[in-house]
Amino acid sequence: MKKPKPKQPKSPAAYIEGAGIVVEKPVTDTIEENYMPYAMSVIISRALPEIDGFKPSHRKLLYTMYKMSLLTGTRTKSANIVGQTMRLNPHGDGPIYETMVRLARGNEALLYPYVDSKGNFGKAYSRDMAYAASRYTEAKLEPLCKELFDEIDRDTVDFVPNYDSSTTEPLLLPVKFPSVLVNSNIGIAVSMASNICSFNLSEVCETAISLLKDPAHDIISTLKAPDFSGGGYIVYDENALRDIYETGRGSFKVRAKYNYDSSNNVVEVTEIPPTTTIEAIIDKIVEHVKAGKIKEIGDVRDETDLSGLKIAIDLKRGTDHDALMKKLFRFTPLQDTFSCNFNVLIAGTPRVLGVGEILREWTAFRTECVKRRLFFELKKKKERLHLLRGLQKILLDIDKAIKLIRETREESEVVPNLMIGFGIDELQAEYVAEIKLRHINREYILRRTEEIENLERDIADLQETLDSKSKIRAIIIAELKEAAQKYGQPRKTLLTFSAPEEAEEEIDIPDYPVNIFFTKEGYFKKITPLSLRMGGEQKLKEQDMITLHEESTNRAELLFFTDKGQAYKSRASDFEDAKASVMGDFISSKLDFEDGEKPIALITTLDYCENLVLFFENGKCAKVPLSSFETKTKRKKLQNAFNISSPLVAIFKIAEDMDFILNSSAGKSLIFNTALILPKTTRDTQGVQVMRLTKAYLKSAALYADGMIKKQSEAAEIVAKTLPSAGKAVKIVESVQLTIDG
């Protein structure tokens, strides 16, 4: 008899309904179900600050410290604070401690720190100066935090359960000043970010007060400019700041502060922009020194110590320190740009707001906090008054009350008997029943009666204040004035009114002769005469050809014209000396052309004294002074460099008026002198009609030379006397087809 085969156990998938079945589902649905909740969580619950000026991680940490009595108590170990914060913040100790480090005075990241620190908390201006572990440092709350938590126990803000519902935490902090603008805040969410610069507390409070009194107040008159904990200088641009104040977006330049020690010939940088670090500045200086762009520096080192930040720059003998610093401001992060993006969560919705809008939103939030505080106080006083009025009825006939209580058999019947005997409610009866026997005297009765009168007066005042917008506004103004007086400090970041882009020419560019080559495919080479004589055949890409070979100098300015009507400026000195055996620099990549943009011509100049002559297919010619392309600042890209309504045929640089020969697709030729047309300073001018064309187009243009026409008499016949001219068909011995391609 055969044994039955043992049953094979079913796979786990067999017990799962629908396992192994592939269901087609639009990717948009998957993103909406899986990615959108994550994105919204990052935006609303992590990265963006709210109107109280804090992200959730900041708020949870500070509230934990407040509940630990660290506002008035002594410092405690940071590790203890981090551990307690985990009850509200479901993250590891590392991120929580990093949050506390940024809020600490020792880190110097905030203009007005919230955490009073002891120990090594690193420095915001140093990349390599790491903070100590949490077990080594201590912290407590700064006195400024009193303005954050002073009213938190008076029902001014809503509380919600924490992540495991074991306790509660505030949704917002009832801040008494616009902390959202007082300290900088940076956050990167999903598809959006926030970058709020800090402002001086006194100026912010003054501006908020002025807006409360006059909604049309000019903000920039009281809020001069941002203020940073690291000091430095803001390059003042009123239009840029007004734009930031109105829209919440924009940028401004922040410049380092330095001193010059003439005895040691050393520049000492003591304050730097908030967007950079000591190490980044030193690395950039060293990079430019090695590249030969900066030759006045002998040594640079970090001399930061307990007294503060210091970058020492040793200068070579005879160096003008002011000129050097202007160069360093251009080349290094010693002058940097701060980009603003005032993205704030308002009622759970991210909004980019200007300064005025932020202050108005904060005023509305603060008004609600004050109203809730007043209502809380009013409610407490009414409850107290209610109890005292019940006591008052008892005290009017205290003997009756004592007799009633003494004759009551059971304790549970005392309160009901008092309610019936004196016509009071249960709360009042409970309060009376708890009065000690020692309090039944004349003095106690008179004090309680007097308290009733004070409570009635206070309740009337509170109710009147609650019903009056002007009185609530006066409370907010008084609180702002008090905060400014107690915690205000002079500006750390000063204002400078010098131009942010001081275009001083570099005096250290070596001057020597070079040969400049440019090819049809857009390759550029700069070769010295010696290297050109010793080199062999020019290396070119297959099917490529040289369209320009010109002798110039290393200080030559270069203008690369493109097929999109733009010009890119550069200098010969920006390119390394090459050899004939190399292909050269591909200009589109070197100068960061737009996608699909190609160079079509190169013009060189030393002093912008020449004229440009441009020929278009429609027979027009434009003469533009090369000085129109000269800029005071180091702009690399010039838009509308020439007119693109008709394709460009040829472009020439001339120092004086010259003869050109034009050839049309109909076989006609024309000789004309550029003196017949006047120069136009507008770069993208359409030009003047030179050759009259009928069902034809301008095919080529070239500089005219004697002998190019077979018969001299025919040459005289095609010379233009007036413009436009049709020209005529003649026999040409040699026509240099000098178009934009050759």
Q: Report, as residue numbers or ranges, the catalytic residues.
A: 136
Query: How far, CA to CA in Å, does 324 sit from each of 96, 271, 282, 295, 554?
Result: 43, 17, 15, 10, 22
Q: How many residues does the structure list for the chain?
A: 742
DSSP letters for 578-605 = --TTS--EEHHHHTTPPTT--EEEEEEE
Q: What is the DSSP letter of 13?
A: G
User: How many alpha carbons fall within 13 Å on the CB side of residue 658?
Assistant: 18
Is residue 172 within 8 A of residue 52, CB to CB? The reply is yes
Provide CB contacts within 8 A for 355, sequence distance 6+: 181, 207, 219, 223, 244, 245, 248, 342
Q: Can you tell me the distance from the alpha carbon of 346 to that of 51, in angstroms, rounded to the nearest whole number? A: 6
Nearest CA-CA partner of 267 in 299, 232, 314: 314
Residue corresponding to tokens 């940088």: 269
Provide CB contacts within 8 A for 394, sequence distance 6+: 401, 418, 422, 424, 432
What the block records as the tokens of 21 is 């079945």
State phi, psi for 109 to the nearest 5 degrees: -85, -30
Query: How far, CA to CA in Å, does 331 sit from each of 283, 285, 501, 697?
Result: 12, 8, 11, 48
Nearest CA-CA partner of 175 in 87, 68, 66: 66
Is residue 728 within 8 A of residue 669, CB to CB? The reply is yes
What the block records as the tokens of 543 is 């099917």
Nearest CA-CA partner of 83 in 98, 96, 99, 102: 96
Is residue 668 within 8 A of residue 726, CB to CB? The reply is yes
Beta bridge partners of 638: 567
Q: Can you tell me the distance from the alpha carbon of 394 to that of 445, in angstroms, rounded to the nearest whole number? A: 10
Q: Can you tell me the distance from the alpha carbon of 437 to that of 630, in angstroms, rounded to the nearest whole number? A: 98
Provide CB contacts within 8 A for 202, sequence distance 6+: 484, 488, 489
Residue corresponding to tokens 């993006």: 341
Beta bridge partners of 620: 689
Q: Can you tell me the distance from the alpha carbon of 332 to that of 325, in angstroms, rounded to the nearest whole number? A: 10
